[in-house]
Structure 1
């Protein structure tokens, strides 16, 4: 059984729901287990996270990673960035090199910065030597979605809701399945 981490930060719940659908996609692949993890809040005034806070050891030992954040002014949220700023030891040792990864996001408006946020989450993963994957256009919902989903990663439009559209949830599950399938292949085939 290989472990895929689904790491997220969520303020209002939409990104957390995307994480859960990605985890369902991961677990649809035999031999793969999804670990839902979040990052710690920076401000002590924020409520405690709903899922366990990730440890560097968990990240080091994962077979793959899905990472998500809500859009914050076109960037990943500060708590997620703060976490990555603490991963220098993993970067120096190369623990994440050649592991597959993907990203996901949510925003309050369709043009609120989803794609730029997905890109900002890719940068630390690339620096760690991870192999990024998105959603290929062979996924039919990517052609018809009216609310979320990009070739760069899963996305959702929150609009004061936390429930995902059928297209958003389908694309999130497919991204999780693709990540898990790739991680499983890589774990069986030495590079």
Structure 2
């Protein structure tokens, strides 16, 4: 059995979601728990994997065992017409074995996203990512308003999960408030995992 870890699983196209994943991982590791960062491959127009099994750079692709053995999950995707990206949906659609065996039941989970426009569907995307996790029996946790950055942010950040406003050219860096909320979300899921394990 691997040592305890929180899985940060994401798909990123422009790099913003990948950056968020790194900050979320830092928040997790502040609690002393390992953050295991994984991604998923892109899919083709006919929804087949379109990349090799091993990425050329960056985090490894997520496996079923990465999900099975995690103590908690934080799931991220860019906004795609108010929904998660096809690559993430394709991956989640392949987790039926874990659903049949209840492997993810009672594990804490959270979601995060990034969009190129300020009101581009961040909240609906976060909600769409929650749905399969609820079907897996996971315990969803948002960002509480005890995090002051949630009220101070002028860009991303929602009670449903961390978000980022990337701008029209997808080149805006994460704001200080968005970074703080990423850290807080990672820390919260790790602490919830510890309490649930106890």
Q: Tell me the TM-score range normalised by the shorter chain.
A: over 0.9
Q: Is the 8 A contact 1:17 1:162 kept in 2?
A: no
1:50 aligns with 2:51: no
Moved >3 Å (runs of 4+)? 45-49
Question: Are 1:89 and 2:90 counterparts?
Answer: no
Paired with 1:64 and 1:162, the residues of 2 have a C-alpha distance of: 29
- The CA deviation at 1:50 is 2.2
Q: Does the residue aligned with 2:74 lie in a helix, a strand or coil?
A: strand
Q: Is 1:66 the equivalent of 2:68?
A: no
Q: CA deviation at 1:84?
A: 0.6
Aligned to 2:26: 24
Q: Which runs of 5+ in 1 are unaligned?
A: none
Kindly indicate whether the alpha-carbon contact (under 8 Å) linking 1:148 and 1:154 is maintained by their aligned counterparts in 2. Answer: yes
2:183 maps to which of 167, 173, 179: 173
User: Where does the alignment leave 5 or more consecutive residues of structure 2 unmatched?
Assistant: 45-49
Alignment partner of 1:161 is 2:162? no
Q: Secondary structure at the match of 2:125?
A: helix
Residue equivalent to 1:109: 117
Q: 2 CA distance for matches of 1:69 and 1:40?
A: 12
Q: Is the 8 A contact 1:28 1:177 kept in 2?
A: yes
User: CA offsets per residue over residues 118-166 of structure 1, 9 Å max, x none?
Assistant: 0000000000000000000000000110110100000001112252110
Q: Is 1:185 aligned to residue 195 of structure 2?
A: yes
RMSD after superposition: 1.5
Partner of 2:47: none
Instruction: Name the SS of the counterpart of 2:34 in structure 1.
Output: strand
Per the TM alignment, residue 187 of structure 1 is displaced from its structure 2 partner at its CA by: 1.4
Q: 1:19 aligns to what SS in structure 2?
A: helix
Aligned to 1:122: 130
Q: Name the TM-score, length of structure 1 as normaliser.
A: 0.94
Q: Contact 1:12/1:162 (CA < 8 Å) preserved in 2?
A: no
- C-alpha contact 1:13 1:162 (8 A) present in aligned 2: no
Corresponding position of 1:36? 37
Q: Is the 8 A contact 2:41 2:51 kept in 1?
A: no
* 2:107 matched residue in structure 1: 99
Corresponding position: 1:8 with 2:16: no
Asked if 1 retains the 8 angstrom alpha-carbon contact of 2:72 and 2:109, the reply is yes
Paired residue total:
187
- Tell me how far 1:99 sits from its aligned partner: 0.1
